[in-house]
Amino acid sequence: MKEPEIIGSGAAKVLCVIGTRPEAIKMAPVISAIANCSSLHAHVLMTGQHREIASDALKSFDITQINWLDVSSTSHKLADQAGELLKGINAYMAVHHPRYALVHGDTTTGFAGALASFYSAVPVGHVEAGLRSGELTDPFPEEANRRLADQLCHRLFAPTSIAKDNLLREGLSEDKILTTGNTVVDAVRHLAQKIKPARELHELKNILGPEKRLALVTTHRRENWGDPMRRICQAIKHMVDTHKDLQVVLPVHPNPVVRDVVEDVLKNVRRIHLVKPLSYEALIALERDADLILTDSGGIQEEAPEFGTPLLILRKTTERPEALTSGLAKLVGTCEQTITDEAAHILKCERTKIDRKNPFGDGHASQRIAAAVENHIKSVH
């Protein structure tokens, strides 16, 4: 059997289970922090939900030691995916015997990793625990995934006090909860200081035009498929028609359910650049340099506040209310008129950046998580 790839030199193995690119980004600084603990080493297991772009994201943080889970199913049904992941992660744990496991967020990989750890009697920590929209089916299936994972985990790493309060209201013990800040702040601060301006990056310099204003748009979530996404695209088209100094970059999700709608409405529209999914560095550069962001992404809701870039959230609900209460974001849903009106309100200002403290953390969340894991392992040694 091939020896597993490891990061760090300590004796105790911490298994970090990752499926999607957002998980990879938010877990990367945690993996590095674990590797820097003298008694630990990190063991990265990737399930392949976003195989290429997730591994590329880890490379941005100089993490290349990856172990791949062999999942044979090609089904797009959630139950099939969850079953295959649970079976595979459980089998992997039976062979490699981690002392501790970490899962992240609200994905099928995160939930399956928590359940596999529970079944294997491996203590498991949930990074980014406690986020809630208040609606079990919105977003679907993410809201259910994170609620279920929180019930199974040994330790709940809540990114904010609001997330901690959510967990306490659900009856989870305060002893299990540690408020850490969000690890995405750690990731963004690490990368932003070394990334060139967006217009100078290889991926973007031949795409971006001379227009003064720049908007970044991302949309892909399941609850926006169909008519909501069509309304979003119509709003984007109206924005560039109204604001002649504005150009839009829209990385198109490869799922044909998304791609077909976006291309049908926006292909060949002047000053709207439909591009393939970007590297994380290019995405961060755009978030930093943009005048406005419109998104249904959870991760971007946490990243954009680091740069003070105003954010319009293309969803009915958000499990990240901190961005709203801080004045850095606004929930606009998918109504075409609402989107265009709110965008116009922001773009009429000569300077759009908002000078506010990032409500999601101070850049040291990963060290807090690694220290908590190390202390637990030492306490039961």
Is a pLDDT exceeding 60 seen at residue 1? Answer: no
Q: Is pLDDT at 73 greater than 80 in this prediction?
A: no
Q: Is 350 a catalytic residue?
A: no
Residue spans per domain, the chain: 12-182+362-379, 198-347
Q: What is the pLDDT of residues 205-263, one digit of tens each?
A: 999 988 889 999 999 998 999 999 999 999 999 999 999 999 999 999 989 999 999 99
Q: pLDDT digits over 316-332, tens only?
A: 989 899 999 999 999 99
Residue 268, token pair as written in the block? 């060949």
The SS3 assignment for 113 reads helix
- What is the arithmetic mean of pLDDT over 39-59? 87
User: Using CA atoms, how far apart are residues 210 and 104, in angstroms rounded to an integer?
Assistant: 40
- Indicate if 84 belongs to the active site: no
- Does the active-site annotation cover 189? no
Measured CA to CA, the distance from residue 20 to residue 48 in angstroms comes to 7
Q: CATH number of the domain at 198-347, please?
A: 3.40.50.2000
Which of these is catalytic: 147, 222, 259, 273? Answer: 222
pLDDT digits (tens, 9 = 90+) for 171-218: 999 999 999 999 999 999 998 888 999 999 999 999 998 888 999 999
The alpha helices in the chain, defined as continuous H runs, are 21-35, 51-59, 78-96, 108-119, 142-152, 161-169, 183-192, 227-242, 256-266, 280-289, 298-303, 321-325, 336-347, 365-379
Q: What is the mean pLDDT of the chain?
A: 94
Determine the average pLDDT of the residues in 79-100: 95
Q: Half-sphere exposure (CA, 13 Å, Cβ side) for 246?
A: 23
Lowest mean pLDDT among 32-41, 84-93, 131-140, 330-339: 131-140
DSSP state of 4: P
In the set 41, 147, 189, 253, the catalytic residue is 253
- Is 227 a catalytic site residue? no
Note whether 12-182+362-379 and 198-347 share their fold: yes
Annotated active-site residue 291? The verdict is no
Q: Which of 128, 281, 319, 342 is catalytic?
A: 128
Catalytic, 76? Answer no
Exactly one of 21, 43, 50, 220 is catalytic; name it: 220
Q: Hey, which CATH number is domain 12-182+362-379, 3.40.228.10, 3.90.79.10, 3.40.50.970, 3.40.50.2000?
A: 3.40.50.2000
- 217 sits in which H/E element: strand 213-218
